[in-house]
Structure 1
């Protein structure tokens, strides 16, 4: 059996599989790329060839256009294919619709690249699937013991309680892919069936989710509201739009943001958020540790996040561990 470092290496473009001759989530344009999910920091437009789940392919084509890549190829969960001498398998990652862990097998050595993932229930995507491997490459966005995310129901009840208490418009900043649809669907599950109003930038991805069977209930364009009619309504928008002139149409409003980073009070205060909602599409510290235990690899590589703390914990618990320090991955709404 060859060791992982003999056939999987870090390059300026990102993680590269030598025998397979492809990159995983490359941060600059390459000839052949496997994409874990549709967030723009992982899914660049312009690669010559892209392999991803059908959902991620659809997301990328919606965002970038079908002509943004010369060759599209999709692979469904739990199916595999052989690329040169490397077996490639996709497992659900539980991050957003279509998000996948990339399982690579070569010369009796199995590597799993987690991509971004979470372990909480999400009604808009398939749950994370744990599989044993030799090397596990994990994200660590919230890789500090202080990060323990509350149940989403707790945060949504905060929103609904505020809505009952203050009869003003509630503007909620959500990332357009994943967070938006999860928040809507989760509100429906706890029986909020009123129309939810959307910034125009959120509409197309919600429609795409619907085509994949994720029913979101009645959605309306936010620009149909005015100061009077916006009272008591939930309006979703990208976080960057919370302080735009666009919000003036709603009159007095309460500004909320759904993000794991809202656990940090200073960040919420800095962004002038009235109602922080700690809702994350990434694993928190207990879930990172849980996943490490369930996957039970010989070696752990930690990337994009709080790498050092998780490397230290893994080493203390008997794993070989190192930080990859992959560059180019930014916050995706978290």
Structure 2
């Protein structure tokens, strides 16, 4: 019996022929990384191959010595005889799907991806394959994400209704914050947007990479002048909402941008007054559409509602299985 092209291991998804892991959650000799979110991109590997932007994002987050050797993914490379190439995933800046030719089959590991337009990164590229490894973060039929511009419209309406209140928008530091800023600009907001310090460096990096974000300012309150943020937009990591930092602003409206805001219990748990359903992952229609369009005859499903998507695939006549990989979060900071 032929050895499978990829094997789930505690360290991550392993390619025996190429002797490398994809997005390993533990230190390994050689890792191929799909994108810079912390549950996919860890420090401490002997060698890391990724897109230039992902390598630079990892250096920003972990320091220049996050790996022994950096290998920038070009248009095509061979890793211990396995032909690999990286293709845009549309998830965050630098995110990629990894295409491999193994044993006469084309295998694509998608990482996290989205089909929705995202001005903060390159758009998703459909890669035909025989075996498609897909995430299932929102892998239930109930998940159908609304128009993100309409969700930002809720923020604009709240600003008009409550001009004396600061509007704090919880946004993850890599990808979500920059996408939300771009959407706010698309909605016509040309005033400064204020940032928690934890978001500043990655926003600066996006600007360096040519992503237009407009005027950004530090969310620094002058002594005794809370009113300076009345009617303003402040972006912060969600963790800041539980700290005294958020209490310094005038009667803040707490908003949170996430695909999970479509689940009312999640919004209540976050004590969120203004939930904005903005996701950097595919919803159910986009997941199933992508699987069809790849032409894959076999689908492996990971991190999310695996069983539901596996069931759908099998009903379509596709060979499918869940991977049950551990260490991947729903939507990491």
Q: Shorter-chain TM-score: which interval?
A: over 0.9
Aligned-pair CA distance for 1:251: 2.3
Q: Partner residue of 2:68?
A: 70
Give runs of aligned pairs for residues 111-150 of structure 1, distance below 5 A.
Answer: 111-150=107-146
Distance 1:23 1:333, change over 3 A: closer
Q: Partner residue of 1:25?
A: 23
Q: Aligned to 2:65, what secondary structure does the other structure show?
A: helix
Partners of 1:239 and 1:265 lie apart in 2 by 17
Q: Aligned to 1:72, what secondary structure does the other structure show?
A: strand
Q: Partner residue of 2:234?
A: 235
Q: Aligned to 1:154, what secondary structure does the other structure show?
A: helix
Aligned CA RMSD, in angstroms, stands at: 1.2
Q: Partner residue of 1:162?
A: 158
Asked whether the 8 Å contact 1:302–1:321 carries over to 2, the reply is: yes
Partners of 1:209 and 1:331 lie apart in 2 by 23
Q: Partner residue of 2:298?
A: 299
Q: Partner residue of 1:191?
A: 188
1:59 matched to 2:57? The reply is: yes
Aligned-pair CA distance for 1:333: 4.6
Asked whether the 8 Å contact 2:5–2:103 carries over to 1, the reply is: no
| Structure 2 alignment gaps of length 5 or more | none
Asked whether the 8 Å contact 1:259–1:333 carries over to 2, the reply is: no
Asked whether the 8 Å contact 1:155–1:279 carries over to 2, the reply is: yes
1:207 matched to 2:200? The reply is: no
1:308 matched to 2:304? The reply is: no
Partners of 2:244 and 2:250 lie apart in 1 by 11
| Structure 1 alignment gaps of length 5 or more | none
Q: Aligned to 1:300, what secondary structure does the other structure show?
A: strand
User: Aligned residues, how many?
Assistant: 330
Where does structure 1 differ by over 4 angstroms across 4 or more consecutive aligned residues?
none
**Among candidates 208, 214, 219, match of residue 217 of structure 1:** 214
State the TM-score, normalizing by the size of structure 2: 0.97
Q: Partner residue of 2:275?
A: 276
Aligned-pair CA distance for 1:83: 1.1
